[in-house]
Amino acid sequence: MTAVLQPPVAEQRIAAATALVGDLASRAAQHDREASFPFESFRTLHAAGLLNLTVPTEYGGDGLGLGTVRRVVEQVVRGDASVALVLAMHYLMHATAARDRRWPEAVQRQVCESSVRDVSLINALRVEPELGTPARGGLPATVAKRTADGWRIDGHKIYATGSPMLAWMLVYLRTDDPEPLVGNVVVPADAPGVQIVETWDHLGMRATGSHDVTFQDVVVPASYAVDLRPPSGWAERSPLASAWNCVLVSAVYHGAALAARDWLVRYLHERVPSNLGAPLASLPRFQSTVGQIEALLHTSDRLLAAVAEDADALSPADPAPTLNQSAQLAKLTATGNAIRAVELGLELIGNPGLSRRNPLERHYRDVLCSRVHTPQDDSILALAGKAALAAAERAG
């Protein structure tokens, strides 16, 4: 009997994500209407082996690269964009820890192995009511005070994506030292003193559970401070970190635009006005607009694939001076293209596209959320402009 060759793990994971699109989509509209969290979808993802793509192999994960992870995220989005955003953040946290190797080994093992065993999600909690996003500077108000055995944490975070199902919270804070350190402390979500305040009621991405989280006298062991540095140590972000963040965030919104395109082309084939006697898809104006959408999505796909390929070819020690700018410009382009692609679909079909009976309206609200993710468009453009002006000045 001839042995059947199994496809590589990467292709298996992409195929598994593709197979779940219909199942995820069957719940997406209801969770969007209710702003309820899709717990069942994450149990389904875990059962399909899709929560541990970026967990290192030594801890039981797949240790896969950005190129594969991007494609998985895009497939999950086609079922439910909110699920995909939470999943992308989970992937990012494990990928960063695996790449930087700053965490105490025992803590990383504990977090990773919990994810392999069960639905044990992790995400970073960085934004605060007063500070806003730390990407624009400033010290967090959330404080870790040294105790005899570890740390006591007090503070308030907002936009904690995935909070209803997080097992681990990577909390960005400062220490109470005279010259404070700044960085990340792992906090178990079920630790005494952690409270989720259900505040999330957004235009789009309504099922992400991005609520507020407060910390009051939360005690964690000393080893859970996984990456504390002087504030100056956070001035530069590694090119690989930028590439992973920009590509996966963009993949979420590119995937939402793909889902919108898929619905649109089906609608154009199915809609047969009585005065036309033929599907809308037969009209040149509709064909041309769909062609515009295809051009936008094709451009985004190629850009994101190129950045992911460049990132996967690098080692963490490679300075890769151009990768950061390439990743940011790809995010700017891909998210802008996603918004425009869905807008074109809405302009093409009018009222049916804005009806809540049809998913195009939800996809549009979701893609608009792409504008809030760090790095934001003004920062990306300022960086690119400064680089171009500096290059011209050096050239004399």
Name the fold adopted by 239-395.
Answer: Butyryl-CoA Dehydrogenase, subunit A; domain 3 (1.20.140)
Span 143-189, pLDDT tens digits:
999 998 899 999 999 999 999 999 999 999 999 999 999 999 999 99
Span 33-89, pLDDT tens digits:
999 999 999 999 999 999 999 999 999 999 999 999 999 999 999 999 999 999 999
The per-residue pLDDT for 7 is 58
Residue with the bigger pLDDT between 232 and 1: it is 232
Angle at 249 between CA 248 and CA 251, to 5 degrees: 60
Span 210-231, pLDDT tens digits:
999 999 999 999 999 999 999 8
Q: Superfamily for 124-233? A: Butyryl-CoA Dehydrogenase, subunit A, domain 2 (2.40.110.10)
Confidence of residue 111 (pLDDT cuts 50, 70, 90): very high
Q: Superfamily for 9-120? A: Acyl-CoA dehydrogenase/oxidase, N-terminal domain (1.10.540.10)
Span 243-302, pLDDT tens digits:
999 999 999 999 999 999 999 999 999 998 888 888 999 999 999 999 999 999 999 999
Span 253-267, pLDDT tens digits:
999 999 999 999 999
Average pLDDT, rounded, for the chain? 94
d(CA 369, CA 380): 17
Domain ranges in the chain are 9-120, 124-233, 239-395
Instruction: Dump the DSSP string for 68-93.
Output: HHHHHHHHHHHH-HHHHHHHHHHHHH
Instruction: Dump the DSSP string for 182-221.
Output: EEEEEEETTSTTEEEE-----SS-TTS--EEEEEEEEEEE
Closest of 287, 392, 279 to residue 344, by C-alpha:
287
Instruction: Dump the DSSP string for 311-370.
Output: HHTS-TT---TTHHHHHHHHHHHHHHHHHHHHHHHHHHH-HHHH-TTSHHHHHHHHHHGG
Residue with the bigger pLDDT between 28 and 318: it is 28
The per-residue pLDDT for 216 is 98
In angstroms, what is the C-alpha Rg of the chain?
A: 22
Instruction: Indicate if the pLDDT at residue 135 is higher than 80.
Output: no
With contact defined as beta carbons under 8 Å apart, do 238 and 192 qualify? Answer: no
The per-residue pLDDT for 102 is 93
**pLDDT, mean of residues 78-103:** 96
pTM of the model: 0.94
Confidence of residue 6 (pLDDT cuts 50, 70, 90): very low
**pLDDT, mean of residues 110-119:** 97
Instruction: Indicate if the pLDDT at residue 105 is higher than 60.
Output: yes
Closest of 76, 86, 381, 70 to residue 246, by C-alpha:
70
Residue 200 tokens, joined: 């999330």
Instruction: Indicate if the pLDDT at residue 343 is higher than 90.
Output: yes
The per-residue pLDDT for 3 is 41
The per-residue pLDDT for 68 is 97
Report CA-CA distances (Å) from 226 to 174, 222, 320, 323: 13, 9, 25, 26
Instruction: Indicate if the pLDDT at residue 319 is higher than 90.
Output: no
Q: Nearest 5°: phi and psi at 104?
A: -55, 135
Instruction: Indicate if the pLDDT at residue 5 is higher than 70.
Output: no
Q: Diameter of the chain by CA atoms?
A: 80
